[in-house]
């Protein structure tokens, strides 16, 4: 497979390279693509130094698959050009996620929707992916009525500059470059992405819309608050779920334990619960603190943690590519 990687020098792009190697994806030629200023730089893949090329050079090489993680504007401009040249694009930006004619895919949930005609496939937002991996099996069994999610999101979700800001603030560098409107160290910012309509942020709107498309179910209500915290290993989410039907806690645990890609870490007496410190570098979605919400019937509280750069972005995208290859869709 000829695989283009657009955004190869970014934080997610670097993880995509690592995941492609780890999973031994059948790459016959890797085509790293980055902004004009990075053309000519070298990246390493399978111990081989490969030169970064321009977008047009990559399109002209007609890759089978192009993995994009270079921002929405780049995706909007160049994903259609790759697709027109016959390449199947898997885009990690928000550019196409809610387009009616584009598929929004978490392979464990809805990969079977994919067809050879899907030339631009959207990779969901990181905080969405970990949420729906848990909601999907529970929705099938008990029916979702209302979901309230509060996130505690890693600075890695904003990119390298945000990680640099945090580390500079920790080391007391008064001149640290500011990515966020305030200091992030010793702080929590209820401000992920930009504010849109109704004083919700775009991150919260993604969390309130993408899950319904992925689950193929808009019968339930969903509200979200997204918060940035000085963490690097992954995103955490506190989730309150009201079901249409009652449930048994042990049955909840069993269902989640048997869900591919989900790992239950839930033994509070022994201080076992999901944490970004543990999730960092792993592909599983970890769930714990599973307990009944006694304030109302048929309602559950739980805690979900996942590495937002891996299952939240790079691994999910590569899993989509694996599905395309396995089903001969590319």
Annotated binding site for phosphate: 97
Whether 211 and 128 have beta carbons less than 8 Å apart is answered as: yes
Among 87, 139, 153, 316, binds ligand 2RA (CB under 6 A): 153
Residue ranges in 107-146 that form contacts with ligand 2RA under rule CB under 6 A:
125-127
192 lies in the site for ligand 2RA, by CB under 6 A: yes
Helix runs in 197-314, H state only: 202-215, 249-257, 276-279
- C-beta of 145 vs 178, nearer to ligand 2RA: 178
From the list 126, 136, 191, 192, the catalytic residue is: 126
Q: Please, what is the minimum distance in Å from the beta carbon of residue 70 to ligand 2RA? A: 13
Distances (CA, A) of 3 to 62, 74, 112: 9, 17, 22
In the numeric block, which tokens belong to residue 205? 């709107």
| Residue indicated by tokens 């048994």 | 248
Determine the 3-state secondary structure of 319 from DSSP.
helix
| Residue indicated by tokens 């992920």 | 192
Residue 191 among the catalytic residues? no
Q: Please, what is the minimum distance in Å from the beta carbon of residue 16 to ligand 2RA? A: 14
- C-beta of 265 vs 309, nearer to ligand 2RA: 309
Could you give the CA distance from residue 200 to residue 273 in angstroms, rounded to a whole number?
30
CB atoms within 10 A of CB 287: 28
89 lies in the site for ligand 2RA, by CB under 6 A: no
Q: Please, what is the minimum distance in Å from the beta carbon of residue 198 to ligand 2RA? A: 19
| Binding annotation for substrate | 153, 228
What does the DSSP 8-state code read for residue 201? B
Residue 126 among the catalytic residues? yes
Q: Please, what is the minimum distance in Å from the beta carbon of residue 162 to ligand 2RA? A: 8
Burial of 116 (0-12, 13-18, 19+ CB in 10 A): exposed
- C-beta of 232 vs 298, nearer to ligand 2RA: 232
Helix runs in 116-185, H state only: 126-142, 160-170
| Binding annotation for NADP(+) | 9-12, 37-38, 308
Catalytic residues: 126, 235
Contact positions toward ligand 2RA, by CB under 6 A? Answer: 125-127, 153, 157-158, 192, 203, 308
């Amino acid at each position: 497979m000829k695989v283009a990687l657009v955004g190869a020098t970014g934080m997610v792009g670097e993880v995509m390279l690592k995941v492609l190697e780890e999973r031994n994806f059948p790459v016959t030629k890797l085509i790293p693509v980055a902004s004009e200023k990075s053309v000519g730089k070298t990246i390493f893949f399978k111990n081989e130094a490969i030169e970064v090329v321009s977008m047009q050079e990559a399109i002209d090489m007609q890759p089978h698959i192009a993995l994009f993680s270079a921002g929405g504007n780049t995706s909007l401009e160049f994903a259609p050009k790759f697709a027109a040249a016959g390449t199947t694009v898997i885009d990690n930006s928000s550019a196409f996620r809610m387009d009616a004619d584009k598929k929004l895919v978490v392979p464990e949930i809805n990969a079977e929707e994919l067809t050879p005609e899907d030339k631009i496939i959207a990779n969901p937002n990181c905080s969405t992916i970990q949420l729906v991996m848990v909601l999907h099996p529970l929705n099938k069994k008990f029916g979702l009525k209302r979901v309230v999610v509060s996130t505690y999101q890693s600075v890695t979700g904003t990119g390298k500059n945000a990680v640099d800001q945090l580390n500079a603030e920790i080391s007391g560098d008064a001149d640290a470059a500011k990515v966020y409107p305030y200091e992030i160290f010793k702080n929590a910012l209820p401000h992920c992405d930009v504010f849109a309509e109704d004083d919700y942020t775009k991150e919260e709107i993604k969390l309130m819309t993408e899950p319904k498309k992925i689950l193929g179910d808009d019968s339930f209500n969903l509200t979200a608050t997204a918060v940035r915290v000085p963490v690097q290993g992954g995103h955490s989410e506190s989730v309150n779920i009201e079901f249409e039907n009652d449930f048994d806690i042990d049955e909840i645990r069993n269902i989640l334990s048997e869900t591919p890609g989900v790992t239950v870490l839930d033994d509070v007496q022994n201080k076992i619960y999901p944490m970004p410190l543990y999730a960092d570098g792993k592909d599983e979605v970890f769930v714990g603190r599973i307990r009944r919400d006694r304030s109302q019937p048929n309602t559950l509280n739980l805690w979900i943690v996942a590495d937002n750069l891996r299952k939240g972005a790079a691994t999910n995208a590569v899993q989509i590519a694996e599905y395309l290859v396995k089903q001969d869709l590319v």
